Amino acid sequence: MTGLVDGKVALVTGGGSGIGRASAIVFAREGAKVVVADVDVKGGSETVHEIETSGGEALFVEADVSRSEAVESLVARTVERFGKLNCGVNNAGIQGEMNPTDECSEENWNRTIAVNLTGVWLCMKHEIAHMRAQGSGAIVNVASNFGFVGSPGMPAYSAAKHGVLGLTKTAALEYAQSGIRVNAVCPGPVQTPLVDNMLIAQPDLAGEIMDSITRRLPAGRLGRPEEIAEAIVWLCSDQASFATGIAMPVDGGFVAQ
Ligand code: NAD
């Protein structure tokens, strides 16, 4: 049976954990060769190991998406190893500190924007340069439901995710006639280390935070990383050939409210 992305080469940033890891695994299951990029060598190598154990082909590249040279060399290594780049999933992200706007430190602002917004732009810049030369490609940026609505206590995160949607739509228009599709997936709360760490950081409030998250979600539960990964891989596949410039919520109904 042919997979959704048979023969394609996919690059997944933040592939060492959570949504990125699940996406790398679904890409491999659906026939793609996968480059897993992350700052976390252990997590990234584990993802590659899991793919190889299931008979897939994958490469780990240590790369910090907020550093231009690292991203340029990441794309170059992808092409060097697998000969092309069909799918770019710009997923690496951090939550940053939880503080309202007036208490948000400049350090937190700068780092959150550097990874979650500049990092996505740098990846797009270098991926698109290669895809234009190649004449085709599909990019999926992982934003958030906080790309649509505000998130009290997370001003830099929310600003970055709103920015990712602006970048996505702009590039979709710029390259619609160059064979390159650019879309965003906007997850709601998903059970990953990003959410776990937020709860660990506030042990006294963990139960209350979890209750308030699930109460606000029409689905009544958190998502699983695989549920986001399936949408990402579909958007990268030829099945989604007329989809470009969209910001797809995969959020248990959160932004429909
Ligand atoms: P996660 O913490 O499980 O995984 C994120 C991965 O990104 C980690 O492996 C981390 O090492 C890597 N990373 C962090 N900074 C990096 C950098 N500078 N360069 C390269 N890699 C880096 O988080 P997750 O929940 O899987 O989140 C993935 C994406 O989904 C993020 O962009 C996040 O904002 C978004 N998202 C998550 C949720 C959620 O509830 N989990 C909801 C909406 C959006």
Same-domain status, 172 and 204: no
User: 43: pLDDT confidence band, cut at 50, 70 and 90?
Assistant: very high
Residue 163 and residue 36 in one domain: yes
Instruction: Flag whether 213 is in a domain.
Output: yes
The answer on 129 and 194 residing in a single domain is no
CB 56 less than 6 A from any atom of ligand 1? no
- 192-217 confidence digits (pLDDT tens): 988 888 778 778 877 888 888 889 89
Whether the pLDDT of residue 149 is over 80: the answer is: yes
- Total structural domains in the chain? 2
Asked if 184 and 202 sit in the same domain, the reply is no
Residue 3 lies in a domain: no
Residues 210 and 161 in one domain: no
Chain centre distance of CA 116: 9
Atom of ligand 1 nearest to the CA of 22: 26
Q: Does 212 reside within a domain?
A: yes
* Same domain, yes or no: 215 and 135: no
In a domain, 103, yes or no: yes
pLDDT category, 1, cuts 50, 70, 90?
A: low
Does residue 38's CB lie within 6 angstroms of at least one atom of ligand 1? yes
Q: What is the pLDDT of residue 197?
A: 80
**CATH number for the domain that contains residue 22:** 3.40.50.720
CB atoms within 10 A of CB 138: 26
> What is the pLDDT, as a whole number, of residue 138?
99
State the pLDDT at residue 195. 84
State the pLDDT at residue 172: 99
> Which residue has better confidence, 26 or 1?
26
pLDDT, residue 207, reads 82
20 Cα to the center of ligand 1, angstroms: 7
The pLDDT, as a whole number, for residue 199 is 78
> Does the C-beta of 43 come closer than 6 Å to ligand 1?
yes
Residue-level pLDDT at 39: 98
Asked if residue 184 has pLDDT above 70, the reply is: yes
Domain that holds residue 150: 9-188+225-245
Residues 180, 240, single domain; the answer is yes
For residues 112 and 239, membership in a common domain is answered with: yes
pLDDT, mean over the chain: 96
pTM of the prediction?
0.97
- DSSP letters of 31-85? T-EEEEEES-HHHHHHHHHHHHHTT--EEEEE--TT-HHHHHHHHHHHHHHHS--
Measure Cα distances from 10 to 89, 184, 214 in Å.
7, 16, 33
pLDDT tens digits along 72-115: 999 999 999 999 999 999 999 999 999 999 999 999 999 999 99
One of 27, 60, 121, 157 is an active-site residue; which one? 157
Say yes or no: 124 and 216 in one domain: no
Residues 83 and 28 in one domain: yes
Give domain status of residue 112, yes or no.
yes
- Does 205 share its domain with 164? no
pLDDT digits (tens, 9 = 90+) for 218-237: 999 999 999 999 999 999 99
As a whole number, mean pLDDT of residues 177-202 equals 91
pLDDT (mean) for 137-143: 99
Q: Would residue 58 count as lying in a domain? A: yes
Same domain, 196 and 147: no
